[in-house]
Structure 1
Amino acid sequence: MEQVAVLTDKDKKRRSLVLGSLILGMFMASIEATIVATAIPAIVGDLGGFKLYSWVFSAYLLMNALTILIYGKLSDLFGRKPVFLFGLIVFLIGSLCAGFAGSMKLLILFRVIQGLGAGAVQPIAMTIVGDLYTIKERSQIQGYLSSVWGISAICGPALGGVFVEYISWSWVFWINLPLGILSIIGILIFFNEKVEKQKHSIDYLGSFLMFVVISSLMIVLIQGGVAWSWLSLPVLLLILLFVIGIILFIWRERKAQEPVVPLVIWQNPLIAIANTVSLTTGIVTIGLTTFLPSFVQSIMGQSAIIAGFTLTTMSIGWPLSSTIVGRLLLKRSHRLLLTIGGAFLVVGGILFFLLNGEKGPIYAAISSFVIGLGMGSTSTIFIVAIQNSVPWKLRGAATSSNMFMRMLGSAIGAALLGGLLNTRLQNFISEHGAKEHLTINSANAVLENKSVNLSAHAMALLKHGLEVALHSVYIGVFIFTVISLILIICIPKKYFSSRDE
């Protein structure tokens, strides 16, 4: 039986109030990805724990990615409304606590709670829209929902900069409270749901194995070469756990009645490559949003507001190219447009490869804009191509798999590039004979711009070391843009539209 959610009052005004409540919830969850990026240098400077820097992002993204698919199936069992409200409430609890965090470890814990709630917001909101609106209406409504991400991406970095500059970094989390409360009130009052329960089998074991695989990999990437040597027992055990986890996960997904990740869609070369590119571009995106504000503030000596501006340009380039490409898809070769998008990624990667403290924030902003052009065009074309390459019954799973891989790429990227940053900074300190006096966490002083009993020479050394370490991150970003373009070129020609032949 098909599960249907309806409004008791069919008046369009009431239905629009439900939509407004959903948009508030989505805006709250989407702005969190960019607003924290601008504030993180101030947070690390205040709380310390520079070596845990990337976990602030990784923890949130990991829980978000892992719970998206589970929440979707729970909404089939118990209805959209209770699952959406549960996600909002959990997210708000995490946001409230994060603003009061007194240490980096506590902040990471509260970010886990935020991610646990955020996983329900976007997919359930999209599902509710599908329940409430007809097929003809959905395209226009989905346009409204998509614009939420564009607006939040533009507002987030600037708003984070304002909070850090004039109020407190805690408000990057507390801003969620009024938005979330209004969303909850709107859903409670205006959304009445009639649920015809459909029996589903939730793959809890598959979800757990996925968590084990990803978590073990992320811990190795962040801690390897920093807290533990690469050949130490903890690292070797985690790698073994990762390998065993992958084997068990594939075995489980082949047997599961309703697998977390349907392996059948991965047999399609277009989807397999498109999802892999989404993984690599997710790494590129998080590499910029996580570490660019720190570079602009600590190395270039600019304010948090200016740092936010350098990220905002990527958020402008993304929807701009997405809109242009969306119109060109009917007229031009999909393969050509996709290759051009991949080329924009590589050009942006080169610009970041050449970035240094002397080039200034305008250069960084232009580099971000070019990356945004590549992201917008490739993501749009891939979604259209994926949906055209599978039958209707697999379209939802294929689309969600692409979204999941992008989020997974962001989670892994935060860990991978964060580990690279820590390793390079630690090696730099050792190479300059300062290991006895300086540690990775000494970089807190550079982010906070306070000497903290450090000499001028030590501060200069740390600043130079941080610039070298961040440059290593941008080398990694460049490498992943090249990998993305190579994968795009490798997509078999037959999977594109006839105009590509």
Structure 2
Amino acid sequence: MEDNIQKITTNKKTTHRPIVLTAIVIGMFMAAIEATIVATAMPNIVADLGGFSLYSWVFSIFLFMQAITIPIYGKLADLYGRKPVYIAGVTIFLIGSVLCGLATTMPLLIVFRFIQGLGAGAVQPIATTIVGDIYTLEERAKVQGYLASVWGISAIIGPTLGGIFVEFLHWKWIFWINVPFGILSLLGIIFFLHERITPKKQAIDYVGAILLFMSVTGVMIAFIQGGVAWSWLSLESFLFFFLFIVGFLLFLRQEKRAKEPIMPLSIWKNQLIIFANIGSLTTGMIMIAVMSVIPTYVQGTMGQSAIVGGFTLAVMSIGWPISSTIAGKILIKIGFMKTAFIGGCFLIIGAIFLLFSVPAYGPVMPGLGSFLIGAGMGFSTTTYIVSIQSNVKWDIRGVATATNAFMRILGNTMGVALAGALLNSRLLSYLEEHAPEAAESHGLGLADALLDPLQQEHLPKDVLSILQEGLATSVHTVFWFLIILAVITLICNCFLPNKVTKVDGK
């Protein structure tokens, strides 16, 4: 057993790896359910609560808090151990999940998603770090592949379950389903993960966290509200982009000065980490953009049910576990770059399938595109995680893993903001051009009626046709965005070193 594994055991108690892994798998299952089940139910949530213009905020505020808290949780995990941080994060996440199910308005749902995201920042990165601690390099490649497969398999269930809840129960259950899984995961970690950690009396970089919060807030608001609430060239857009730039520059300065930075800039000197993190950023943008628009595309423009929309998205999660399992087996044999290159190619092909899909042909083409993008995600993300964990020592593995997770979640945040901005601004422009009177009186509120079958029946046929055509055109604008991101990801993957390096604290 490696040195790093010895660091998380005590003389009297030894970590029970199978049970801990099971607890982590359950936690990953919960995270996968949360990521996909909400996307499937969003058209129905909008139909029930209204507020299509706030559509992106339900995703963004959750992902935003994840992105902000991930580096903090990663640093806390290195200072005080993985176990207490994981327990605290899952507990907050479950409280937020219960509250989300009790929301009666869209603004209230957004507030509760804020709380949920506050806890979610600890779930996946700390779980992945625990796996990096208790397994050797050879074991880790396979286990991380299995974890990614579990993410994919459970994500298949998520959209389908979301469609069933929406059709036969209520969308509130998409949040309450997290509770039993979260409790089981907590029990496994509490009773069977034993760490020998000497708490370090070192300060947390709260100033850096605040500056990061300020920076990401600026860019998120600018992208979501730009072109909808105000013009892209307005004073408001300028101020929020300025807030982003200033906040980011101050954050970099603070990280250079801080004794215990939440994101040590030194880890960015490694070429592998640089390109793996940039790749995580772009794949994170691709993943959330697909998740946020596919159900709306299938339900709104094709007139399909929530179950069909969920299944169209779920096939992305069929390609994911298959490719993740293959990546875990071939990674050591062929190296990082070649494995990730395969993933980049799948991402581009999948985005092309989505671009050439049309509503008249039904959900088959979007389904194929989703499947191929899922395959690309599996090859790429598995490579990023294993390569980073194999190139850093134990005492910064939590930060390194959390930084990679942060880049992916930041990509999610930016991706849903940009996809939402493209979707909203293009749809509003289309409505103003083809239905100026309706656009002037209702704006994007017309889309609420499009996503509600009961309201849709009362729409004039010409207005309904314009809405569906406008939504299809807007979604295809997002698909062009995906192709650009996929090309950038492939380029980054080509710069990963192909040699597998073994560090593991020695």
Taking structure 1 as reference, are residues 331 and 177 closer, same or farther at Cα in structure 2, changes over 3 Å only? Answer: closer
- Residue number in structure 2 paired with 1:365: 367
Tell me the SS of whatever aligns to 1:439: helix
| d(CA) in 1 for partners of 2:249, 2:433 | 40
Q: Where do residues 169-180 of structure 1 align in structure 2 (5 Å cutoff)?
A: 169-180=171-182
The amino acid of 1:486's aligned partner reads I
Taking structure 1 as reference, are residues 70 and 331 closer, same or farther at Cα in structure 2, changes over 3 Å only? Answer: closer
| d(CA) in 2 for partners of 1:223, 1:201 | 36
Taking structure 1 as reference, are residues 90 and 7 closer, same or farther at Cα in structure 2, changes over 3 Å only? Answer: farther
Moved more, 142-151 or 175-184: 142-151
The amino acid of 1:123's aligned partner reads P
Deviations 1:29-70 (A, max 9, x none): 332001111111111111110011111111111111221221
Q: Percent identity?
A: 51
- Residue number in structure 1 paired with 2:449: 445
Tell me the SS of whatever aligns to 2:442: coil
| d(CA) in 1 for partners of 2:385, 2:184 | 32
Is the 8 Å Cα contact of residues 76 and 200 (structure 1) preserved in structure 2? no
Taking structure 1 as reference, are residues 22 and 74 closer, same or farther at Cα in structure 2, changes over 3 Å only? Answer: same
- Residue number in structure 2 paired with 1:478: 483
| d(CA) in 2 for partners of 1:57, 1:470 | 17
Aligned-residue offset at 1:303: 1.5
Is the 8 Å Cα contact of residues 15 and 194 (structure 2) preserved in structure 1? no
1:155 and 2:160 are equivalent in the alignment: no
1:63 and 2:68 are equivalent in the alignment: no
The amino acid of 1:443's aligned partner reads A
Moved more, 26-35 or 75-84: 75-84
| d(CA) in 1 for partners of 2:295, 2:306 | 7
| d(CA) in 1 for partners of 2:383, 2:288 | 21
Is the 8 Å Cα contact of residues 152 and 317 (structure 2) preserved in structure 1? yes
Tell me the SS of whatever aligns to 2:372: helix
**Of 413, 426, 429, which residue of structure 1 is paired with 2:431?**
429
Is the 8 Å Cα contact of residues 7 and 193 (structure 1) preserved in structure 2? no
| d(CA) in 2 for partners of 1:253, 1:108 | 31
Deviations 1:323-379 (A, max 9, x none): 223333455475444333322211111111112211211221111111122222222
1:198 and 2:200 are equivalent in the alignment: yes
Is the 8 Å Cα contact of residues 385 and 496 (structure 1) preserved in structure 2? no
- Residue number in structure 1 paired with 2:503: none
Aligned-residue offset at 1:428: 0.9
The amino acid of 2:372's aligned partner reads V
Is the 8 Å Cα contact of residues 205 and 262 (structure 2) preserved in structure 1? yes
**Of 346, 350, 358, which residue of structure 1 is paired with 2:348?**
346
**Of 328, 331, 352, which residue of structure 1 is paired with 2:330?**
328
| d(CA) in 1 for partners of 2:493, 2:207 | 33
Aligned-residue offset at 1:447: 0.9
**Of 443, 451, 463, which residue of structure 1 is paired with 2:468?**
463
The amino acid of 1:264's aligned partner reads S
The amino acid of 1:455's aligned partner reads P
Q: Where do residues 10-409 of structure 1 align in structure 2 (5 Å cutoff)?
A: 16-128=18-130, 145-188=147-190, 195-332=197-334, 335-387=337-389, 397-409=399-411
Taking structure 1 as reference, are residues 181 and 230 closer, same or farther at Cα in structure 2, changes over 3 Å only? Answer: same
Aligned-residue offset at 1:394: 5.7
Tell me the SS of whatever aligns to 2:100: helix
Taking structure 1 as reference, are residues 335 and 174 closer, same or farther at Cα in structure 2, changes over 3 Å only? Answer: closer
The amino acid of 1:277's aligned partner reads G
| d(CA) in 2 for partners of 1:203, 1:177 | 32
| d(CA) in 2 for partners of 1:191, 1:337 | 32
The amino acid of 2:47's aligned partner reads G
Moved more, 101-110 or 180-189: 180-189
Deviations 1:387-434 (A, max 9, x none): 556677665544433222111101110111101111111111111223
Moved more, 79-88 or 104-113: 79-88
The amino acid of 1:466's aligned partner reads L
| d(CA) in 2 for partners of 1:109, 1:94 | 9
Tell me the SS of whatever aligns to 1:346: helix
The amino acid of 2:476's aligned partner reads H
Aligned-residue offset at 1:266: 2.1
Taking structure 1 as reference, are residues 365 and 438 closer, same or farther at Cα in structure 2, changes over 3 Å only? Answer: same
Deviations 1:297-327 (A, max 9, x none): 1111111111121122111112212222333
| d(CA) in 1 for partners of 2:345, 2:131 | 35
Taking structure 1 as reference, are residues 218 and 107 closer, same or farther at Cα in structure 2, changes over 3 Å only? Answer: same
| d(CA) in 2 for partners of 1:436, 1:307 | 30
Tell me the SS of whatever aligns to 2:363: helix
Taking structure 1 as reference, are residues 426 and 332 closer, same or farther at Cα in structure 2, changes over 3 Å only? Answer: same
Aligned-residue offset at 1:155: 1.2
| d(CA) in 2 for partners of 1:24, 1:248 | 39
Is the 8 Å Cα contact of residues 451 and 459 (structure 1) preserved in structure 2? no
Is the 8 Å Cα contact of residues 37 and 293 (structure 1) preserved in structure 2? yes
Tell me the SS of whatever aligns to 1:200: coil
Aligned-residue offset at 1:181: 3.0
The amino acid of 2:150's aligned partner reads V
Is the 8 Å Cα contact of residues 342 and 374 (structure 1) preserved in structure 2? yes
Is the 8 Å Cα contact of residues 148 and 324 (structure 2) preserved in structure 1? no
Is the 8 Å Cα contact of residues 15 and 192 (structure 2) preserved in structure 1? no
Gaps of 5+ in 1: none
| d(CA) in 2 for partners of 1:108, 1:332 | 45
Aligned-residue offset at 1:141: 5.7
Normalised to the residue count of structure 2, the TM-score between the two structures is 0.88
Aligned-residue offset at 1:439: 0.9
Moved more, 163-172 or 467-476: 467-476
Moved more, 126-135 or 17-26: 126-135
Deviations 1:452-484 (A, max 9, x none): 764332222222221221121112112211222
Normalised to the residue count of structure 1, the TM-score between the two structures is 0.89
Tell me the SS of whatever aligns to 2:308: helix
Is the 8 Å Cα contact of residues 7 and 191 (structure 1) preserved in structure 2? no
The amino acid of 2:454's aligned partner reads K
Is the 8 Å Cα contact of residues 346 and 372 (structure 2) preserved in structure 1? yes
Aligned-residue offset at 1:252: 0.7
